[in-house]
Amino acid sequence: MNGTADMLKEDADFFSPNGKTVLLVEDDGTIAEEIAAELTARGFKVLHEATGDAGLEAALRLEADVMVVDRLLPGLDGLSVIETMRQQGIRLPALVLSALSAVDDRVTGLKAGGDDYLTKPFAIEELVARIEVLLRRPDDTRSTKLHLGPIDMDLIERRVWRDGREIELLPREFRLLEYLMRRPGQVLTRSMLLEDVWQYRFIPRTNLVDVHIGKLRRKIDGPGEEPLIESIRGTGFRLRVPD
Amino acid sequence: MFLTELFRTATFRITLMALAAMAGVMVMQFGLVYAQLEAVESRRSTELLKGEAELLAQMSPEHLEYVIRRRATDDLRLIINSAGLFDSGHALIAGDLRTWPKGLKADGKPHNVEIYPEEGDSYPLRVLAEKLPDGTILVLGRSFYLLSEQKLMLRHTMLVAAIPTFVFALFLGIVLSHRALSRVKEMHEAIDRIMAGDIHERLPAAKEWDDLERLAGSVNRMLDRLERLMDDMREVGNDIAHDLRTPLSRVRARLERALSTGTEPEALEATVGRAVDDLDQCLGIITALLRIAEIENSRRKAGFGQVLLADLVADVFDLYEPIAEMEDKVLVAKEGEAPCFVWGDRHLLIELLANLVDNAIKFTPEGGRITLGSQRINGAATLFVTDTGVGIAPTEREAVLSRFYRSDKSRHVPGSGLGLSLVCAIAHLHEAHVTIETGAEGIGTCFRITFPSAFLQKVEDCT
């Protein structure tokens, strides 16, 4: 856990949460306290509200950079908070937390205007990783070429090079690498990769994503080359940005 | 007490309604007979009076006078009760009608008039007055006595018939209601016992001869089903408790040891890490159970659409090929000759297939082979996953599809034991059948999901 924080501190020049404010709307005191403590430890500022109405008011004050909102709240529920906010034209990125795990619950949450969705119980690492991704919009420029350190990617011809050496990738490996290259330096969890690269919402076994990343890593990081894809214990993976 | 309950029974209310209906019908019948009787008597009187007047009019005046006089002592009086011969000034010449009846017209038609005798009460009489050629007027009358007699008899008959009938019907109604009441009471008592917690109690249904017993039988079958479901739930609850107790006990033991020994920070960190892994396993079990319950209870088919099975096979193959390769097993995707479309939820079907492939990889030894694919069998679309693993004994095939079942061969393999339950729940939502067969060449296992042809029909309607 602390390992991640240290790594993030190393990357402070590239991305720092310092000064970023998270609006947390959660009625369960214990969970709110845990989340707030973790986020504060990582350099975020946390505004905590325990009801939907107070959360909406805080969101409208435009003091936060990202919002984490529980779905079931006393008074106004989480989805209504987001819907009202969106109707007022506020684009504050929002992550929905929910204890409901209905098959189409996630879809409802995203339709209401949420940007991401996390089902309880969740690992705090997962929440933090998703908050960071929300704070930094991925580089989805329309350019046909991606470039990151020694890696070049041609999206039209579906070809990848490292320092001029062409790497043969299977379609799924190409998709995975493209996803990582658009989010350099960010911690990406297994479930984020499954949801976004494969569009799956379940994890039949824990090492599924690891095996895919492992295969990609063996192709990208040749012998003697500086490893670019890092595993972050207990959380997920990160594409390092070389100095 | 009994009476108030009696009035509230359906049987007794039906009896009362039947009685009211019977009474109505009876009154109508008697009314009809009454009316008929009057009409017949009226017609008969008219014919008799006219016929008699015709006969008498043909006689000579002297003879007629003689006949009228003699009539007073004649048997004919039974038919023509009164007769009189009057002159043109309505004065009596002969006969037993003393005076000219009030308001009588000599038009040869019968009239109902009131007769006022010198002694006694007035009485009604049907009278016909006919002018004769010599100027005299012949008056003939027929009394209503016979009709009143007949009517009286009819009224008596009606009362004599109706009263015992009603009394008997009422008695029968009370007896039947009482019987029904006592049976309903027994059922109420049985229900009270069930409500008090005795879920093995059943309603008295005997051999289901009548509707009440058939209803009780239906309720009993419903109770049987509920009891089975409750047993299942209790079993699942026990299974959950049992499956959660092991990892939770491990967590507790580890944390306790860490507390008492006060170990190094690194060791402490490792202990906490392992505790988190154990808790993750617990949460995994709970999540899987909630997910199964959710799919089983899902009546919604909002995410349903046309799905090409070959696409699912390709996706799952793509996801699992590296895993199989890493574990030194061969994963093969086979495409059927005909494209198989089904009507379903793509995400759930991928989850189903992924679970089957995941299981197959788990239970196939190194160097083994797992084949997944889709094919059409007898017109039905099917998905199959075949492995060359340890296989499942025919006796165990039913059981492995139930929750938490772990065959002895799989005790060492990690997992919640809920993968196949999830497969069944998803298949059930798609009205598909899960069958377990022996794999190719008699080794391993083949899981087959057969989709109903109705779903195919739906797809063909859309294309």
Helix (H, G, I), strand (E, B) or coil at B10: helix
- State how far the Cα of B74 lies from the Cα of B64, in Å rounded to an integer: 14
Q: Please name the residue of chain B whose CA is at the shortest distance from the CA of residue A216.
A: B322
Q: What fold, for A21-136? A: Rossmann fold (3.40.50)
With CB atoms and an 8 Å threshold, state whether B294 touches A101. Answer: yes
Which range, of A146-160, B253-267, B321-335, B400-414, averages the lowest pLDDT?
B400-414
Residue B402 or residue B385, greater confidence? B385
- Strand-pairing partners, residue B449, are B383, B434
What value does the mean pLDDT of chain B take? 82
- Residue A103 with chain B: CB contacts under 8 Å: 294-295, 298, 303, 345, 347-348
- Residue A121 with chain B: CB contacts under 8 Å: 283
Which uninterrupted H or E stretch holds B64?
A: helix B61-71
With CB atoms and an 8 Å threshold, state whether B303 touches A198. Answer: no
Main-chain phi, psi angles of A118, to 5 degrees: -135, 130
With CB atoms and an 8 Å threshold, state whether A103 touches B348. Answer: yes
pLDDT digits (tens, 9 = 90+) for B12-47: 787 888 888 888 888 898 889 889 988 988 888 888
Radius of gyration in angstroms for the set of CA atoms belonging to chain A, rounded to a whole number: 19
* Continuous H helices in B196-210: none
Give yes or no for residue A170 having a pLDDT over 80.
Answer: yes
Main-chain phi, psi angles of A14, to 5 degrees: -85, -50
- Residue A56: predicted pLDDT: 92
Percentage of chain B modeled with pLDDT above 90: 10
pLDDT digits (tens, 9 = 90+) for B58-89: 888 888 888 888 876 766 677 788 888 888 88
Residue B421 CB: number of other CB atoms within 10 A? 24
Q: Which of B291, B294, B312, B319 is the best substitution to test chain A (most A C-beta atoms within 10 A)? A: B319
For residues A109-138, give the mean pLDDT: 84
Token digits of residue B384: 């199959």
Q: Where are the domains of chain A?
A: 21-136, 140-239
Largest CA distance in chain B: 158
Whether residue B287 lies within 8 A of chain A, CB to CB, comes out as yes
Residue B213 amino acid letter: E
- Strand-pairing partners, residue B384, are B373, B448
Which range, of A98-107, A128-137, B60-69, averages the lowest pLDDT?
A98-107
Q: Smallest CA–CA separation between B323 and chain A, in Å?
A: 6
Whether residue B305 lies within 8 A of chain A, CB to CB, comes out as no
Residue B379 amino acid letter: G
Token digits of residue A140: 């989805």
- State how far the Cα of A121 lies from the Cα of B287, in Å rounded to an integer: 9
Closest-CA residue to A147 (of A114, A173, A184): A184
Give yes or no for residue B462 having a pLDDT over 60.
Answer: no
- Residue A124: predicted pLDDT: 85
**Cα B91 from chain centroid (whole Å):** 82
B229 pLDDT band, cuts 50/70/90, is confident
Percentage of chain A modeled with pLDDT above 90: 30
Give yes or no for residue A161 having a pLDDT over 90.
Answer: yes
- State how far the Cα of A46 lies from the Cα of A53, in Å rounded to an integer: 18
Give yes or no for residue B48 having a pLDDT over 50.
Answer: yes
Residue B225 amino acid letter: R
- Residue B322 with chain A: CB contacts under 8 Å: 211-212, 214-215
- Residue B298 with chain A: CB contacts under 8 Å: 103
Residues B432, B436, B439, B441: what is their CA dihedral angle, to the nearest 10 degrees?
-110
- Residue B76: predicted pLDDT: 64
- Residue A119 with chain B: CB contacts under 8 Å: 287
B3 pLDDT band, cuts 50/70/90, is low
First to last CA, chain B: 70
Residues A57, A59, A61, A62: what is their CA dihedral angle, to the nearest 10 degrees?
180
Percentage of chain A modeled with pLDDT above 70: 85
Q: Are B384 and B347 in contact (CB under 8 A)?
A: no
Residue B17 amino acid letter: M
- Residue A234 with chain B: CB contacts under 8 Å: 273, 276
Q: Are A95 and A121 in contact (CB under 8 A)?
A: no
Distances (CA, A) of B234 to B198, B231, B407: 16, 5, 21
- Residue A203: predicted pLDDT: 62
- Residue A7: predicted pLDDT: 41
pLDDT digits (tens, 9 = 90+) for B320-331: 999 999 899 999
Which uninterrupted H or E stretch holds B150?
A: helix B145-195
Q: Which of B347, B356, B358 is the best substitution to test chain A (most A C-beta atoms within 10 A)? A: B347
With CB atoms and an 8 Å threshold, state whether A201 touches B347. Answer: yes
- Residue A5: predicted pLDDT: 40
| Out of B302, B318, B350, closest to residue A104 by CB | B302
Token digits of residue A152: 């070049």
- Residue B303 with chain A: CB contacts under 8 Å: 103-104
Token digits of residue A211: 């095996």
Q: Are A92 and A135 in contact (CB under 8 A)?
A: no
- Strand-pairing partners, residue A95, are A68, A116
- Strand-pairing partners, residue A98, are A119
pLDDT digits (tens, 9 = 90+) for B253-274: 888 888 887 767 888 888 888 8
Whether residue B276 lies within 8 A of chain A, CB to CB, comes out as yes
Q: Are B19 and B169 in contact (CB under 8 A)?
A: yes
Helix (H, G, I), strand (E, B) or coil at B130: strand
Domains A21-136 and A140-239 share a fold: no
Residue B305 or residue A8, greater confidence? B305
* Continuous H helices in B206-264: 211-261
pLDDT digits (tens, 9 = 90+) for B355-386: 899 889 988 999 999 999 998 888 888 999 99
Q: How many CA atoms lie within 13 A of B147 on its CB side?
A: 19
- Residue B98: predicted pLDDT: 79
- State how far the Cα of B421 lies from the Cα of B293, in Å rounded to an integer: 10
With CB atoms and an 8 Å threshold, state whether B298 touches A201. Answer: no
Q: Which of B294, B348, B422, B430 is the best substitution to test chain A (most A C-beta atoms within 10 A)? A: B294
Q: What fold, for A140-239? A: Arc Repressor Mutant, subunit A (1.10.10)
Q: Please name the residue of chain A whose CA is at the shortest distance from the CA of residue B281.
A: A206
Cα–Cα–Cα angle for A167, A185, A97, rounded to 5 degrees? 120
B155 pLDDT band, cuts 50/70/90, is confident
A15 pLDDT band, cuts 50/70/90, is very low
* Continuous H helices in B298-366: 309-326, 346-362
- Residue A12: predicted pLDDT: 36
Strand pairing class (A159-162; A151-154):
antiparallel
SS3 content of chain A, % helix, strand, coil (to 5): 40, 20, 40
Residue B248 CB: number of other CB atoms within 10 A? 15
Whether residue B355 lies within 8 A of chain A, CB to CB, comes out as yes
- State how far the Cα of B364 lies from the Cα of B360, in Å rounded to an integer: 6
For residues B208-213, give the mean pLDDT: 83
| Out of B287, B303, B323, closest to residue A208 by CB | B323
| Out of A103, A198, A215, closest to residue B295 by CB | A103
For residues A111-140, give the mean pLDDT: 83
What b/e readout covers B171-187, taking b as 16+ CB neighbours within 10 angstroms?
eebbeebbebbebbeeb
